[in-house]
Structure 1
Amino acid sequence: MRAYLAARENDGEAPGVRLGEVEMPVPRANEVLVKVEAYSVNRGETFQLERPPAGGWRPGKDVAGLVVQAAPDGSGPAVGRRVVGHPPAGGWAEFVAVPTDALAPIPDRLTAVEAAALPFAGLTALRLLRTAGRHTGHLAGRRILLTGASGGVGHYVAELTAAAGAGVTAVSASAQRGGRLSELGAADVVHRVADAVGPFDVVLESTGGEALPLALDRLAPRGLLIWFGQASRRPVTLDFFDLLRGPTGATLRQFSYADVDGPDGPDLATLVGLTAEGRLHPEIGTVRDWSHTGEVLADLRERRVRGNAVLTVG
């Protein structure tokens, strides 16, 4: 079968990947074989491709498609069922083996393109807000600052926080992208962190560099800053004495969406259900044939895509 591989330095075929022939996956006992109809590419994966893991790793964690081989242990969906999945790797391919506990069925009202945009960005947003809710007790009435809001995660966060009764201030450098965040429920949109008027109960920070200290300075006493990315690719410098003059008793927490005790399937089902009910709207900035994966990776690196980027496998 055909699949995308991490490119060697001199391949020159596409930025970060090349299309090649690989062996068909052989599912383990608890895995189904999925014929991929669409997959989503995330900006974080462009960073991962710069230093790909060893051992035959192939990129791709967000897929939607059709089950063509059921799990040998009898778990999971039957052959012919449309599913969205979050495999550990290898999803940018014609077929992928996916653990049955990392799948959710797709209802007829959702397309494969919509479903493929849900896993990584949606799981991140859902679990960010769950983490924030544990700290604050509830989100209703809380003020939340979200940096780097124009990516796939940001659009889901804006809509989910509004639904929870929180007021989110979204930071987006683009006026056009900011307008869409307002439509999804953002209470306020600013173009720079410095323009955000605090204090905020929670800061969701994904930019790093100079943005994190500025965002931290707008935190309320005993507030929470969740650091879930460094899209600027610039390190953060913090001064302890600035913290003493800033929010008293602030909590800084590093966040990974994979830091969960259970499988991804139940949270994927939640995201699918919300989308099918019209309560969550994947923001899909581009849909292209999978032959354009390299171009999409370049567009993501240069921030030319609003929301999610989805590739369809013909």
Structure 2
Amino acid sequence: MAFTEAAQPVPAPDEVLIRVEAFSPNRGETFLLEAPEPGLLPGKDVAGLVVQAAADGSGPPAGSRVVGHPPMGGWAEYAAVPTHSIAVLPDGLTTVQAASLPLAGITALRLLRAAGAVTGRRVLLTGASGGVGHYLTELAAAAGAEVTAVTATAERGARLRELGAGAIVHGVDETDGLFDVVLESTGGDALPAALDRLVPDGLLVWFGQASRTPATVNFFDLLAGPQNAVIRHFHYAGPPYGPDLVTLVRLAAGGRLHPEVGRTADWSRTSDVLVDLRERRIRGKAVLTIGASR
């Protein structure tokens, strides 16, 4: 990674121009850097100040503090963001906290909707110590689910327990009993192992492959396992993102959702942070700041 100069983005009529005060990289974005396409401008999670309102009159006025989820280009001093993908920030929420919300928080919200009603149900969550996992744990527990979180270390498990997880394990093979819903983001051997722990008619939502190891599901093993199991592929994407951002901001500002920011650093440290994020050395989210973030 190296810094370079780029032209300040010119917003479309339905976009605001944000002076970025904080941005949050995601582990999946680091994979794009292995073989980047020409002109790649990464960055989907930003927070800062609107310096140019949308020409079509939509969105907040200049001077508003906002969080945004642009399609690209957020690792920069300025970002153009569609007005349907931003939310205004209250005074009680910092830009560092806000920048950690978009991709991980939206994913968590939409995963819970895909899972359906979870009140009183047993939910197994793999890869729980990442950005999505922390939000999922807290949101699912608040909705009345009995959450078992899979994480690698006792330290990370302690924090997940504080956020509402009822049980912490360090591998799917350590789980106790069967689950109504599995939210699986690891891939590899973890997916078939988690699938085997579903109740009859249970649901497994597959939303990632953090291990980067392909999963193999043997039909005959499945036939001997849970009856009528449902495996659902999930992808969070699909604007508008604004309504979900408004929900996340409201919950965070009200103390009902706690952004887990495991690393905050000046954007001059972007390369170091990306390496640590990729190697899973950061609990929850990482946030890079530009100038005097609030």
TM-score, normalized by the shorter chain, greater than 0.5: yes
1:219·1:250 contact (CA, 8 Å) conserved in 2?
Answer: yes
TM-score by structure 2 length? Answer: 0.98
1:198·1:220 contact (CA, 8 Å) conserved in 2?
Answer: no
Superposed CA deviations along residues 181-210 of structure 1, whole A, max 9, x for unmatched, are 000000100011100113100000000001
Partner of residue 33 from structure 1, selected from 3, 17, 24: 17
Matches within 5 A, 1:288-307: 288-307=265-284
Residue 147 of structure 1: aligned partner: 126
Stretches of structure 1 that go unaligned for 5 or more consecutive residues are 1-16
Question: Structure 2 CA distance, aligned partners of 1:116 and 1:23?
Answer: 23
SS of 2:24 mapped into structure 1: strand
User: Partner letter of residue 84 of structure 1?
Assistant: V
Residue 98 of structure 2: aligned partner: 115
Superposed CA deviations along residues 162-184 of structure 1, whole A, max 9, x for unmatched, are 11000110000100000000000
Matches within 5 A, 1:1-314: 17-54=1-38, 56-133=39-116, 138-258=117-237, 260=238, 262-314=239-291
User: Partner letter of residue 114 of structure 2?
Assistant: T
Question: Structure 2 CA distance, aligned partners of 1:224 and 1:69?
Answer: 45
Question: Structure 2 CA distance, aligned partners of 1:64 and 1:49?
Answer: 23
Question: Structure 2 CA distance, aligned partners of 1:158 and 1:53?
Answer: 35
Aligned residues: 291
Question: Structure 1 CA distance, aligned partners of 2:140 and 2:78?
Answer: 35
Shift of 1:139: 1.1
1:34·1:97 contact (CA, 8 Å) conserved in 2?
Answer: yes
Shift of 1:219: 0.7
SS of 1:229 mapped into structure 2: coil
Question: Structure 2 CA distance, aligned partners of 1:231 and 1:313?
Answer: 29
Identical amino acids, percent of aligned pairs:
67
Runs of 4+ displaced beyond 6 Å: none
Superposed CA deviations along residues 144-175 of structure 1, whole A, max 9, x for unmatched, are 00000000111101100111000110000100
User: Partner letter of residue 121 of structure 2?
Assistant: R
Shift of 1:47: 1.1
TM-score by structure 1 length? Answer: 0.91
Q: What's the RMSD between the two structures over aligned residues?
A: 0.8
SS of 2:4 mapped into structure 1: strand
